[in-house]
Structure 1
Amino acid sequence: MNIFEWWPLVDAEIRGWLIAHNGEPLPPHVIADIMAVTGGATDSGWWAGESADGPQLSDEAVDWIEAVANDEEPTAG
């Protein structure tokens, strides 16, 4: 499932965290909420993988979230 598909399904609190902390490693509660709404089926292209600080979204996902935060039309990827 792509970010544009799961974005409206996660809690507003999680969307707010993703916007406020865009580009940062994801804490377990954020990952858990995303996985809960996707049934664990996320598009691997949106995940950059693990960093020393934890799992991170890809540059494309970070750009997508930034566009949403700026009330711009995000690209579909």
Structure 2
Amino acid sequence: MKIHDWWPRVSPATRNWLIAHNGEPLTPLVTSEIMSATGGATEPGWWAGDSTDGPHLTDGAVDWIEAIANGEDPPPVAE
């Protein structure tokens, strides 16, 4: 599932957290909600995986979220 598909499926609180903390490692709660919304799927276009700091999103996903935060209508994140 692509980020533009799961974005509306997560809570407003999670979307707000992702905007406020864009580019930062994901918290366990945010990761859990995303995984629940995607049925556990992690698309390479938005999921970069885990690092020593925790799970994180790709640069493309970070850019997509930034565009959303700026009130833009970004195209889907490419894989």
Query: Normalising by structure 1, what TM-score?
Result: 0.93
Unaligned runs of 5+ in 1: none
Instruction: Write the deviation string for residues 4-23 of structure 1: whole angstroms up to 9, x where unpaired.
Output: 00000000000000000000
Q: How far off is 1:37 after superposition?
A: 1.3
Q: How far off is 1:42 after superposition?
A: 2.8
Superposition pairs for residues 16-35 of structure 1, below 5 Å?
16-35=16-35
Query: Normalising by structure 2, what TM-score?
Result: 0.91
Taking only the aligned residue pairs, the percentage that are identical comes to: 62
> Once superposed, what is the RMSD of the aligned Cα atoms?
0.9
- Matched length: 77
Unaligned runs of 5+ in 2: none
Structure 1 runs (4+) deviating above 6 angstroms are: none
